[in-house]
Structure 1
Amino acid sequence: MTAGFLARRALGTLAVLAILSIGVFGLLYLAPGTVERTLLGTRPASPEALEAIRARYHLNEPVVSQYLRWLGGVFQGDFGTSIRTGMPVTEAIGSRLGLTLQLTGYGTALAVLIGLPLGIVGAFRKGKAVDRAAAVTAVAGMSAPPFAAGLVLLMAFAVYLQWFPVYGAGEGFSGRLLHLTLPSVALAVGAAGLLVRFTRTALVRELDQDYIVFARARGLSPLRIAGYALRNSLIPILTAVGLILTSTLAGTVLIEVTFALPGLGSLLVDSVTFKDMPVVQALALLLTLLISLVNLLVDVAYTVADPRIRFGEER
């Protein structure tokens, strides 16, 4: 991994963040309704009151001036103040970021623990009943949207069986683990199906290679052969894990609303509803940055899995 590659990725990420910030800023202004009317609700207001709100949040300035004012604050670490709650944006996001990251990590871990073994078993039992069962499970999981799976799990295990709580984040490690289990399973269902397909396809291709046939002819143990094949299949598997991480992070928006979890997803929905522009802009930039970091980590993992890969270097 070269410094040039990292520099190019950093510049590319900054360009994406800049374009996204402009897009989000513009789309919020094109959306129906105004910030001042959202703050006042259905209460009658005089023109003076409306003008005072516009002046308070610099809404009476040109859009370009508002964007540049906000961008200058971002470079200083100041994302502004929430229009809806009056809290600093960094404080509003910081209080919810931990829960979203825990949910994302839990869901990804479940997807890997379920999808990777099923994909390996399906590849080594190609054409057998267990392979067909794994394939059916993968297709069913990929066909189920996370929020739909969440509703089914919620009704079955929280309402009828009452094994898990219906809503909330829980207190302490055990309480948090219990409250996040159903949402994490809902996120992991589709992700595990994707990992099954990637893992099985990659392993089946490797198991048909000449070196595997030669290893079997020499009498190597099945476990050792599986290790060779799995190591040479890591590139597509790592790609799938990266896709799972990013999709799980994006899927937390609806899952947090479904299970009433006070994370970044529910904050984003509330902020869009109330046209809380500073919070929406900061969340969009944060999610883009997290996804870019995941992609960068996957690229680094490529070089660890296969030392022949050297980005930006001549072999």
Structure 2
Amino acid sequence: MDFAKVAAKRLGAVVVLLLTLSVLTYALLALAPGGPEEALLGDRASTPETRAAIRALYHLDEPFPVRYWEWLTGALSGDFGSSIYFRQPVLSVIGDRLPVTTTLAGFAILLTLAVGIPAGLAAGLRRSGVLDQGITFSTLVALAFPPFGIALVLLYTFGVALQWVPIYGSDQISNYVLPATALAMGQTAIVIRQTRAAALDVGGQDYVTFAKARGLPRLRIWGSYSLRNAALPVLTVAGLLAAGNLTGAVFVEQAFSLPGLGSLLIQAVNQKDIPLVQALVLLGGAVVIAVNLLVDLAYMVVDPRVRHGASTRAEA
């Protein structure tokens, strides 16, 4: 099996996954009680003719297979339709919100890795010591609080009481300090624990023991021998967290009133805005798939054994 066949197989799996995701999402929205016309009209009085006209305008009176096929053929050509609620092209609505979520997600993952990896390595190097116990206890505390609760505490303490940072807005980098911190705290604890476990596992390997017996400095042992081997599980966790930041920062965006994709998804679901929900769900699925692919590529860069194994399978 050569690389072309492997790539084709993976591409086929991606297509099937996204297609299944789109069918399930469209079906669940279609089967849910209520409809977009009720969300658009709200509490205003309306006649059956008015509701029928709205349904006809957005082709909601057509059978489910027909509606889905029309949406699918348009999506394959790059046209995801128009938002029922915003009355704008779906891609335009998402494009307006995307920079907010990407900035928040990027800031949060940088904080997570900048704090989590050094702290996890420090705890692993000093197993059962005071530093290790303190870091481990801190991770338990961070994991015990949900991001939404952390967001409220940070919002009141640093935004309201101390007034160190702004509590609303999305046009300055300072607006993302508290949201990114709230999002990163629990994730940092996960990275710390994963890095610590990987460091402990690598620290017990024979080549590390031999390097210590040769009298090599600890910094060189961990920098040249151990860090790359301990990086593989950390890369996996970091990739999952990065994808989660882009697709699941709903509660943090809600707490800080950030107009990102998370708050947009909640609004779209409440309004039964089927084209917008479809595009957001597919975007989330594509992000998860892309991040997993990047993690696989990073494996080959970090660990030569993975690269050699992939080449051997391709030649077989």
TM interval, short-chain normalised: over 0.9
Within-5 A mapping of 1:133-148: 133-148=134-149
Which residue is equivalent to 1:28? 29
| Alpha-carbon distance, 1:33 to partner | 1.4
In structure 2, C-alpha distance between the alignment counterparts of 1:28 and 1:50, rounded to whole Å: 18
Q: Are 1:282 and 2:279 matched, yes or no?
A: yes
Amino acid at match of 1:110: L
Change in CA separation of 1:305 and 1:240 when aligned onto 2, cut-off 3 Å? same
String of CA shifts for 1:101-155, please: whole Å, max 9, x gaps. 1111110000001100110000111110000111111222222221111111111
Q: Are 1:51 and 2:52 matched, yes or no?
A: yes
| Alpha-carbon distance, 1:314 to partner | 5.7
Which residue is equivalent to 2:79? 78
C-alpha contact 1:187 1:251 (8 A) present in aligned 2: no
In structure 2, C-alpha distance between the alignment counterparts of 1:40 and 1:51, rounded to whole Å: 12
Q: Secondary structure at the match of 2:106?
A: helix
TM-score (norm 2): 0.95
Please list every run of at least 4 consecutive aligned residues from structure 1 whose deviation after the TM superposition is greater than 6 angstroms. none
In structure 2, C-alpha distance between the alignment counterparts of 1:16 and 1:142, rounded to whole Å: 31
| Alpha-carbon distance, 1:51 to partner | 1.4
Amino acid at match of 2:254: V
Report the identity percentage.
Answer: 44
> Of the candidates 236, 241, 244, which is equivalent to residue 239 of structure 1?
236
String of CA shifts for 1:246-284, please: whole Å, max 9, x gaps. 222233111111111111111111111111111000000
Q: Are 1:109 and 2:106 matched, yes or no?
A: no
> Of the candidates 288, 291, 296, which is equivalent to residue 288 of structure 2?
291
Q: Secondary structure at the match of 1:233?
A: helix
Which residue is equivalent to 2:201? 205
Which residue is equivalent to 1:259? 256
Structure 1, unaligned runs of 5 or more = none
In structure 1, C-alpha distance between the alignment counterparts of 2:299 and 2:227, rounded to whole Å: 14
Which residue is equivalent to 2:219? 223
Which residue is equivalent to 1:178? 174
> Of the candidates 181, 192, 195, which is equivalent to residue 196 of structure 1?
192
In structure 1, C-alpha distance between the alignment counterparts of 2:76 and 2:282, rounded to whole Å: 13
Which residue is equivalent to 2:133? 132
Aligned length: 310
What root-mean-square deviation, in Å, do the aligned CA atoms of Structure 1 and Structure 2 show?
1.4
C-alpha contact 1:108 1:244 (8 A) present in aligned 2: yes
In structure 1, C-alpha distance between the alignment counterparts of 2:157 and 2:255, rounded to whole Å: 14
TM-score (norm 1): 0.95
Q: Secondary structure at the match of 1:313?
A: helix
Change in CA separation of 1:5 and 1:135 when aligned onto 2, cut-off 3 Å? farther
String of CA shifts for 1:38-91, please: whole Å, max 9, x gaps. 111111212221111111000110011000000010011111111101011010
Change in CA separation of 1:15 and 1:158 when aligned onto 2, cut-off 3 Å? same
